[in-house]
Structure 1
Amino acid sequence: MRLPSRGVVRIVMLLLVVAPAAAQDVVVPPRQAAIASANAQATDAGLEVLAAGGNAFDAAVAVSAALGLVEPESSGLGGGGFMLLHLPGEDGAPPRQVFIDARERAPAAAHRDMYLDAEGRVRPEASTNGALAAAIPGLPAGLVHLSERYGRLPLSASLAPAIRLAREGWTFGSKNHAMLGARREVLARSPAAAALFLPDGQVPEAGTVLRNPDYARTLELLAEHGADGFYRGDYARRLVAGVRAGGGIWSEEDLADYRVVEREPLVFDYRGYRLVTAPPPSSGGIALAAIFNILSGYALDTLSDTARIHLNVEAMRRAYRDRALYLGDPDFVQVPVAMLLDRNYAAGLRAGINLERATPSELLPGIESRPERPETTHFSIVDGHGNAVAVTQTVNLTFGNAFAVEGTGFVLNNQMDDFSVKPGTPNAFGLIGAEANAIESGKRPLSSMTPTFLIGEGRFAAIGTPGGSRIITMVLLGLQDLIDGGSAQSAADRPRYHHQYQPDVVSAEPGAFTAGQVAALEALGHRVSERESTWGNMQVVTWDQATGEVEAGSDVRWKSVGKGATSEGAAIYR
Structure 2
Amino acid sequence: MKKSRLSMVLALLLFVPLGYAQKHPVANINTPYYNGMVVCAYPDAAQIGLDILKKGGNAVDAAVAVHFALAVTYPDAGNIGGGGFMVYRSKTGETNTLDFREKGPAGASANMYLDTAGNVIPDMSLYTHKASGVPGSVDGMVQAHQKYGKLKWADLLQPAINLAHNGFKITQRFAADLNHLKAQIEKLNPGKTYLIKDTEWHEGDILIQEDLAKTLEQIRDKGREGFYGGIVADQIVAEMKAGDGLISKADLQNYHSVWRKAVTGNYKGYKIITMPPPSSGGIALLQLLHSVEKYPLKRWGYNQDSTIRLIVEAERRVYADRSKYMGDPDFYKIPVDSLLNPAYISSRMSNFSWDAATPSSSIRPGTFVGYESDQTTHYSIVDGDGNAVSITTTLNDSYGSKIFVKGAGFLLNNEMDDFSSKPGVPNMYGLVGGKVNSIQPGKRMLSSMTPTIVEKNGKLLMVVGTPGGSTIITSVFQTIINVIEFDQDMQQAVTSKRFHHQWLPDEIAAEKGALDSVTIIKLQSKGYKINSRRGIGRVDAILKTPQGYQGGADPRGDDTKLGY
- When normalised by structure 2's length, the TM-score is 0.90
Q: What do the CA deviations read for 1:202-248 (whole angstroms, capped 9, x no partner)?
A: 55222210111221221221121111111123321221121121110
Give, in whole Å, the separation in 1 of the partners of 2:299 and 2:182. Answer: 51
Give, in whole Å, the separation in 2 of the partners of 1:222 and 1:511. Answer: 45
Give, in whole Å, the separation in 2 of the partners of 1:103 and 1:179. Answer: 26
* Pairs within 5 Å for 1:507-526: 507-526=509-528
Give, in whole Å, the separation in 2 of the partners of 1:192 and 1:65. Answer: 26
Q: What do the CA deviations read for 1:396-443 (whole angstroms, capped 9, x no partner)?
A: 101111111211121100000000011110111111100000000000
| Kept after mapping to 1: 8 A contact 2:321/2:364 | no
Residue 466 of structure 1 deviates from its aligned partner by 0.7
SS of structure 2 residue aligned to 1:143: helix
| Correspondence for 2:418 | 418
| Correspondence for 1:149 | 147
Q: Does 1:357 align with 2:356?
A: yes
| Kept after mapping to 1: 8 A contact 2:288/2:318 | yes
SS of structure 2 residue aligned to 1:351: coil
Give, in whole Å, the separation in 2 of the partners of 1:203 and 1:378. Answer: 28
* Pairs within 5 Å for 1:82-231: 82-89=85-92, 95-191=93-189, 194-200=192-198, 202-231=199-228
Distance of aligned partners of 1:203 and 1:389 in 2 relative to their CA distance in 1, 3 Å threshold:
farther
Residue 127 of structure 1 deviates from its aligned partner by 0.5
SS of structure 2 residue aligned to 1:557: coil
Give the letter for the 2:280 counterpart: S
Q: Does 1:392 align with 2:387?
A: no
| Kept after mapping to 1: 8 A contact 2:60/2:145 | yes
SS of structure 1 residue aligned to 2:449: coil
167-176 or 60-69, larger mean C-alpha shift: 167-176
Q: Does 1:57 align with 2:54?
A: no
| Correspondence for 1:493 | 495
| Correspondence for 2:231 | 234
Q: What do the CA deviations read for 1:268-319 (whole angstroms, capped 9, x no partner)?
A: 0001100011110111111111111111232333446211111001001100
Q: What do the CA deviations read for 1:123-145 (whole angstroms, capped 9, x no partner)?
A: 11110002111100000111111
Residue 118 of structure 1 deviates from its aligned partner by 1.0
| Kept after mapping to 1: 8 A contact 2:43/2:559 | yes
Q: Does 1:80 align with 2:78?
A: no
SS of structure 2 residue aligned to 1:565: strand
| Correspondence for 2:378 | 378
| Kept after mapping to 2: 8 A contact 1:30/1:383 | no
Give, in whole Å, the separation in 1 of the partners of 2:394 and 2:174. Answer: 15
Residue 179 of structure 1 deviates from its aligned partner by 3.0
Distance of aligned partners of 1:274 and 1:321 in 2 relative to their CA distance in 1, 3 Å threshold:
same
SS of structure 1 residue aligned to 2:259: strand
Give, in whole Å, the separation in 1 of the partners of 2:500 and 2:189. Answer: 38
Give, in whole Å, the separation in 1 of the partners of 2:472 and 2:177. Answer: 18
SS of structure 2 residue aligned to 1:453: strand
Give the letter for the 1:448 counterpart: S
Give the letter for the 2:469 counterpart: G
| Kept after mapping to 1: 8 A contact 2:386/2:460 | no
| Correspondence for 1:41 | 44
Give, in whole Å, the separation in 2 of the partners of 1:310 and 1:190. Answer: 43
Give the letter for the 2:47 counterpart: D
| Kept after mapping to 2: 8 A contact 1:193/1:403 | no
Q: What do the CA deviations read for 1:323-361 (whole angstroms, capped 9, x no partner)?
A: 111111111112111111110100101211112321000
1:281 to 278, 300, 317: 278
Give the letter for the 1:205 counterpart: H
Residue 182 of structure 1 deviates from its aligned partner by 4.4
Q: What do the CA deviations read for 1:512-539 (whole angstroms, capped 9, x no partner)?
A: 01101101111222111122x2222110
| Correspondence for 1:15 | none
| Correspondence for 1:11 | none
Give, in whole Å, the separation in 2 of the partners of 1:168 and 1:506. Answer: 45
| Kept after mapping to 1: 8 A contact 2:179/2:201 | no
Give the letter for the 2:361 counterpart: E
| Kept after mapping to 1: 8 A contact 2:499/2:536 | no
| Correspondence for 2:18 | none
Give, in whole Å, the separation in 1 of the partners of 2:538 and 2:404. Answer: 26
Q: Does 1:264 align with 2:267?
A: no
Q: What do the CA deviations read for 1:141-190 (whole angstroms, capped 9, x no partner)?
A: 11111112111001111111111101110222222233334433331134
* Pairs within 5 Å for 1:6-25: none
Give the letter for the 2:43 counterpart: A
Distance of aligned partners of 1:470 and 1:194 in 2 relative to their CA distance in 1, 3 Å threshold:
farther
Give, in whole Å, the separation in 1 of the partners of 2:465 and 2:418. Answer: 19
Distance of aligned partners of 1:526 and 1:351 in 2 relative to their CA distance in 1, 3 Å threshold:
same
**Count of residues in Structure 1 that have an aligned counterpart in Structure 2:** 522
Distance of aligned partners of 1:51 and 1:301 in 2 relative to their CA distance in 1, 3 Å threshold:
closer
SS of structure 1 residue aligned to 2:89: strand
SS of structure 2 residue aligned to 1:556: coil
Give, in whole Å, the separation in 2 of the partners of 1:193 and 1:564. Answer: 38
Give the letter for the 1:276 counterpart: I
SS of structure 2 residue aligned to 1:310: helix
Give the letter for the 1:487 counterpart: D
| Kept after mapping to 2: 8 A contact 1:463/1:538 | yes
| Correspondence for 2:10 | none
Give, in whole Å, the separation in 2 of the partners of 1:246 and 1:75. Answer: 23
Give, in whole Å, the separation in 1 of the partners of 2:51 and 2:162. Answer: 12
Give the letter for the 2:36 counterpart: A
| Correspondence for 1:345 | 344
Give, in whole Å, the separation in 2 of the partners of 1:404 and 1:483. Answer: 43
| Kept after mapping to 1: 8 A contact 2:170/2:203 | yes
| Kept after mapping to 2: 8 A contact 1:491/1:540 | no
SS of structure 2 residue aligned to 1:197: coil
Distance of aligned partners of 1:401 and 1:317 in 2 relative to their CA distance in 1, 3 Å threshold:
same
Q: Percent identity?
A: 38
Give, in whole Å, the separation in 1 of the partners of 2:434 and 2:117. Answer: 20
- When normalised by structure 1's length, the TM-score is 0.88
Distance of aligned partners of 1:181 and 1:125 in 2 relative to their CA distance in 1, 3 Å threshold:
farther
SS of structure 2 residue aligned to 1:381: strand
SS of structure 2 residue aligned to 1:189: helix
| Kept after mapping to 2: 8 A contact 1:449/1:472 | yes
Give, in whole Å, the separation in 1 of the partners of 2:296 and 2:101. Answer: 38
Give, in whole Å, the separation in 1 of the partners of 2:88 and 2:442. Answer: 25
Give, in whole Å, the separation in 2 of the partners of 1:178 and 1:471. Answer: 24
Give, in whole Å, the separation in 1 of the partners of 2:408 and 2:190. Answer: 9
| Correspondence for 1:243 | 240
Give, in whole Å, the separation in 2 of the partners of 1:34 and 1:192. Answer: 42
SS of structure 2 residue aligned to 1:292: helix
Distance of aligned partners of 1:188 and 1:314 in 2 relative to their CA distance in 1, 3 Å threshold:
same
Distance of aligned partners of 1:454 and 1:129 in 2 relative to their CA distance in 1, 3 Å threshold:
same
Please, which runs of 5 or more residues in structure 2 have no aligned partner? 1-31, 366-373
Give, in whole Å, the separation in 1 of the partners of 2:536 and 2:398. Answer: 14
Give, in whole Å, the separation in 2 of the partners of 1:276 and 1:175. Answer: 33
Q: What do the CA deviations read for 1:462-492 (whole angstroms, capped 9, x no partner)?
A: 0111111011111011000121332210121
Give the letter for the 1:37 counterpart: C
Residue 191 of structure 1 deviates from its aligned partner by 3.5
Distance of aligned partners of 1:193 and 1:418 in 2 relative to their CA distance in 1, 3 Å threshold:
farther
Please, which runs of 5 or more residues in structure 1 have no aligned partner? 1-28, 90-94, 367-373, 568-574
